[in-house]
Structure 1
Amino acid sequence: MRGVASVEQAVGMNTTSNASKHIDGFEDTVKDFWVSRPRRPRHGRKLAGVAAGVSNRYGVDPAVVRVAFVVLTVFGGIGLPLYLLGWLLFAEEGDETSGAESLVGRGRSSMSKGFALLLCVVLVPLSGWAFAGSWIDGGAFIGLALVVAGVYLLHRGRGHARRPEPTGYTAGYSSAIGSAEQGAWGAPVIQAPAEWDALGADPQGWRLAGAAEPAPPPPTEPSPPPRRKSKIGFATLGVALAVGGVGAALAVGGEPWFTPTHVVGLVLAVLGAGMVAGSFLGGGRGLLWLAVPLSLLGLAVGTFPAEDFRGGFGNLHATPSSAEQVLPRYDRTAGDIRLDLTELSGTAPVETSLHNGAGSITVLVPRDADVTYTCEASLGNVDCLGREGAGLNTPAIRGVDTGTAGTGGLDITLTARAGAGNVEVLRD
């Protein structure tokens, strides 16, 4: 009826049954996704129910959806803003409308308007951080494009099934209209219930001639046969290991783009694609046990910037005897670096930098040298010619130390930076 249709359009809720619905074109797909968007369940959710709602709507393993949010958070930072957006735009089961729509008066929601407004406020800086502070160039845009493409394909393939039923205000209004018909000229005409008998006789004991036979119940669709498990998990694992191995080899070899953060991001992208494919073809759930710790590793690598730490693994000890033998840069991915400058001869100035991903840095300088230093450790202790610091991401220590004899000694300029380890600059 028109009254019901107008109310359903006003509150923006979906009233389509689980019957199949043909969708044509991109615009129709987007519109149908909006009117039949997932609902956040009250049970079986971990936080707000966004991942569980998407899982219930499209028949995807909820673990895959949750891992996708984690991967999108690490691979570009877009995962958190998307989760908050789903929290705002997906109505909870039993609500008339979503929290965002309740802010503009389009129905009632169990989410308070104050909390919905708070989510909107938090969403703005998170989105700005995702698109401006990504640790992979363009990662947020790539992640958003993958999400849009994935949701579009999911809705095209599975949008006709598992459509949410109307709840709350829409369902109640539809029920009320079902028991009252609007007359042609005025007030609604109340329909008598079907079990009411004006003659007071048993409804089963008499029958009017020419009465229409009750419509037979609609045939139930047979349940689809179980899908055969595919080998997508093994194939994805092989590709991920190959990508990780080649990327790590190129990173150790000094290729500029293949930093540890980029390698982790590439492997996570392969695992994410494999889990999405596995949700369609069957299989791939075991990839979760690799994706979760790798995501944590990606967060750790992002916290301790390792872009400048190359040079391989193992300890590096050097004792140059002249300024010409001092390298402009000493690098290690993991291991200890020890540079002894106490054997230097001559008066030529010396400038060098030392970078270590995981391990300690120790530099020995002559007693009478004039040292200009910059020392930094993302996680560890710093002791630079008597000036100390410790902790996580402590500010860099900078200064000039002229030694015991005052100015006029050998001029040395040092930069020492460690990801996880101690940094020491000591006098002999």
Structure 2
Amino acid sequence: MNRTDVHGTLREMWETRPARPRDDRQVAGVASAIARRYDLDPVLVRIGFVAAAFTGIGAALYIAGWIALPETPEDPAAPAHRPRPVLVVGLAVAAAVSIGFLFGDRGGVVVPALAVLALLFLLHRSRGDRVPRPVGPVADAPTAATPGPSLVKEDVPAPTPPAWDPLGAAPFAWDLPEPGPAQPPARPERPRRFPVTAVTLGLALLAGSATAVLLLLMGALVASNVPLVLGVGLGVIGAGLVVGAFLRSGRGLIPIALLLSALTWAAVAAPLDRWEAGGFGDLNATPTTLAQLQPVYQRSAGDITLDLRQLPLSGTGQVPTTATLGAGDLTVLVPADTDVKLNGSAGLGDVSLGGQKVSGPGAKLDVEDLGADNARSGQELVLTLSTGAGDVEVRRG
């Protein structure tokens, strides 16, 4: 494959892009349009968007498809509406800027975006010649015209007038059938599909309940194992989506899978065991001696602020302390010249020390900072700071 083939394929992908249908859509019809263009099941395409959402680019890809693919007009004879180029460029730039703000610190969207583009390119190369599925009902083929009754009077015995014309006023229409009551059009019978959604939800509930009961019998049913129970249910729903893709059913599982995925991800990123002890509310501490410095500061929810600027750290060795928070911001103030060793983590949030910063989810920062004088002097503060949902910040001054 040379450069000309790649350019030609990309040009063909743009020129033959499908229109978003009006009759089979969940949000804007992007997945349905792609499925009809390449003769795929729409559920498979929607699962692909859900998988892309976990890499941080799923929503941006769907918005891009919403912009790039025109919408099928209400009047089939009218041309499909296509957005203006200025609008397309503006929304694309806005989506790119949003991704940069959300995920720019990690740079983890470049590889998934290139992977998606490569998959679309290969899909068009292999199935680009497929005929798009029809958007609306197919019109019946015209039938041959049947000859009407003859208006020429023939030399035959006069027939008996029908019941609807007792006076014989319209003999030219006597060969028409007797009028009867109008019959309603027969409704086409829809093929019965396997209830994938209901069966999958039932199996997910049973699997999650069985896992919880098993953990209870083992004495391990604690908050930290909640992600395990959610993960079992999510696995069953994922299997149901795969089965439904082959049976063309189970679309109702998509919003449930999204919600359960978000809950599972949040439970993993912000461990629930930090909510089991420590109390609620803000905690402010300003120890002035090493004896007043507690080894552990803990809260389930709230903010923790430790002001360590008045500690006497003129000796030698290390001075450790730990602060754990379930949800909230954790701030530690230290002197400008004090040596600091930080082991910080945040499930959903940022961890920062001076000019060094790591963004979540799952942010971790292990660093040693010598302060403004950039030289070892006095005792070293060893800070072990962690929060489930919030920011961890160590400030000097």
Q: Is TM > 0.5 for Structure 1 vs Structure 2? A: no
TM-score w.r.t. structure 1 length?
0.41
Q: Which has the larger radius of gyration?
A: 2
